[in-house]
Amino acid sequence: MTTLTDHVLPTIIQSPQWAPVTVPACNIGDEAFVRAAGHAARLMPSIVHDALVDFTDAPPQAGAIVLRGLPVGELPCTPPSPTATTIKDRVSEFTLLTVARRLGQPVGYLPEHGGDLIQNLVPTQANADRQVSTSSKVELMFHTEAAFHPHRPKYLMLLCLRGDESAVTTLSSIFEVLPRLPERVVETLFQPRFRTAVDESYLHGRSNVLGAPMPVLSGERDRPTMVFDADLMVGTDQEADDALRALSAVVEQHHTGLALQAGDLLVVDNNVAVHGRSPYQPRFDGYDRWLQRSMAVTDLAASAGERNGRVIVTHFGA
């Protein structure tokens, strides 16, 4: 476990058993399924409901919370790839979308598993040493989810169906990092002097492109929001590059981590905390680590011109 003692751990909420619900028979991506999940939010245990309300009202120091003991249903073997067909009930998907609807509006991104609202994250041999969610041999570098995207999610949710105690999900919050940065670095990070490369999955084989210059930090000086990707972001000049390196070093020094267990749901405020993952060793025996990911925005209107239903279809590059 890579937890550092001077960093605030996400609050862990132990959930009582959820009231039984009837999972609708329609497809997971159908609006009727999402609406039913939204209605089911009223059946959440009050401690979970109230924790989510508080989380949206004021993100905590860690920028994340963990809901523990959530229903995931009966599990088959871990699928060999994120998009492989798997025979399972849809309890975990309904649980995840119920939380997503309490936080905001769940969305998918077309290049990410075809825009699925719920995405399986499992290790694959082909991507073991790459900076992608299906890797395992390398440390997944700290990043804001979809940092390059104009309609990036406000909330990232990772529900653990099958855990691996050696796979540590890492977190670092700007609220923890900010006091440890020199004032000149902070001033630079507030200026639009940084560009982020578009993730290769969004380019469909085209050459990579850099987004428009933007600040890393925005908003209130003492409680700012942060957009950061240690792998894809660069400064537009030497001073900006130096500020990025200083931020990256402090994030590396002041982060925490936890190995998610089955039934754990990690909810991250994507404007406050960056996340990553330690290397681990999958066995590829059908019982490897299996997470499900969902993302939510606070309002669908902002992406209306670049969205098909709940799937954001923003085009990047020529």
pLDDT of residue 204: 66
10-residue mean pLDDT profile of the chain (318 residues): values are 55 93 93 97 96 96 96 95 91 97 97 93 87 84 95 98 96 96 98 93 71 96 96 96 98 94 98 96 95 97 96 85
Contacts of 113 (CB under 8 A, 6+ apart): 82, 83, 119, 120
Distance CA 36, CA 63 (A): 28
pLDDT value of residue 12: 95
Check residue 318 and give its pLDDT: 58
DSSP calls for the chain: ----TTSPPPEEEEPPPPPP----SS-TTSHHHHHHHHHHGGGS-HHHHHHHHHHHHS--TTSEEEEES-------SPPSSTTS-----SHHHHHHHHHHHHHSEEEEETTTGGG-SSEEE---STTTTSSSTT--SSPEEEE-TTTT-TT--SEEEEEEEE--TT-PEEEEEHHHHGGGS-HHHHHHHTSS-EEEBPPGGGTTTSPP-BPPPB-SEES-SSS-EE--BTTTEEESSHHHHHHHHHHHHHHHHS-EEE---TT-EEEEETTTEEEEE-------SS-S-EEEEEEEES-SGGGGGGEETTEE------
pLDDT of residue 206: 57
- Model pLDDT, residue 2: 38
Q: Cα–Cα distance between 130 and 9 in angstroms, integer?
A: 27
Check residue 7 and give its pLDDT. 63
Full set of structural domains in the chain with CATH:
11-302 (3.60.130.10)
Whole-prediction pTM:
0.95
